[in-house]
Chain A
Amino acid sequence: MRKTNILDVVSRKLSPFILLFGVYLVTFGHISPGGGFQGGVALASGLLLILLAQGPGVLSRTFSLKGISLVEVLGYGLFLLAGLAGFFWGLGFLSAFLAPPGTIFILNIVIGAKVGAGITLICWHLFLEGEESE
């Protein structure tokens, strides 16, 4: 079965808008419906559209495998740091330390990046099936 032009054109033109919608869901998570988990899954689906339609080589030019793994590990570390930062003000673990929307805004972005990177990594490794990449 040949690959037609429709898949090529639609996937390249649609994927940035899906990524933009995912960023909107993550950053406006404390005002409108959305939040970290929903926005993270939308970000992952925007990246996976390119992976499934064009192949892993095209995706590696913008978002490399090592880069997304780094984002996931850094996201976990930032979440732990945000939890431990409450100790400087005399409060407990994972308590609010900035002005009212400050802490949950940062935590929303961290969760969105982490969930998006995690789901993209799972599907990328299942797609590559143990071959040597790049």
Chain B
Amino acid sequence: MNRVFKGAVLLLFSFLLLASVLVEKEPKEYPKSYFLEQGTRETGAVNLVTALYLAYRAYDTLGETIVLIGAVTGVLVLVGREK
């Protein structure tokens, strides 16, 4: 009975997911022209993705370094050595 219930929920969720994803929308790209024109001049990077995640969105990179330190601490605590 448990497996039937799980299977039914999965089937319902898959129908909803397919119905919402397969409607192909045309994406709007507002800030792309700004990065195309001003990105190289302001940051000096030819690689636009590097200019994005290090100059315009550097706060997200700081948060990601925090997540890395948290993961290393968690693994060290869980698998730690007993003295």
Direct contact of A and B (CB under 8 A): yes
Could you tell me which A residues sit within 8 Å of B by CB distance? 29-36, 72, 75-76, 79-80, 83, 94, 96, 99-104, 107-108, 111, 114-115, 118, 121-122, 125-126, 128-132
Query: Is B31 interfacial (CB-CB < 8 Å)?
Result: no
Residues in A whose Cβ lies below 8 Å from that of B80: 130
- On whether the beta carbons of B50 and A76 are closer than 8 Å, the reply is no
A31 to chain B, nearest CB (A): 5
Select A35's contact among B43, B49, B62, beta carbons within 8 Å: B49
Residues in A whose Cβ lies below 8 Å from that of B54: 35-36, 103-104, 107-108, 111
Given contacts A83-B62, A111-B61, A132-B81, contact A104 B72 (CB under 8 A): no
Main secondary structure on A side of the interface with B: helix
The docked-state distance in angstroms from the alpha carbon of A102 to that of B62 is 18
A114 to chain B, nearest CB (A): 6
Which of B1-9, B11-19, B22-30, B63-71 is found at the contact surface with chain A? B63-71
The docked-state distance in angstroms from the alpha carbon of A118 to that of B74 is 12
A76 to chain B, nearest CB (A): 6
Could you tell me which B residues sit within 8 Å of A by CB distance? 42-47, 49-51, 53-55, 58-59, 61-62, 65, 68-69, 71-72, 75-76, 79-82
Residues in A whose Cβ lies below 8 Å from that of B43: 96, 100-101, 104
- On whether the beta carbons of B50 and A29 are closer than 8 Å, the reply is yes
The docked-state distance in angstroms from the alpha carbon of A101 to that of B72 is 31
B81 to chain A, nearest CB (A): 5
Residues in A whose Cβ lies below 8 Å from that of B72: 72, 118, 121-122, 125
- On whether the beta carbons of A130 and B65 are closer than 8 Å, the reply is no
B53 to chain A, nearest CB (A): 8
Report the nearest A residue to B59, measured CB to CB. A94
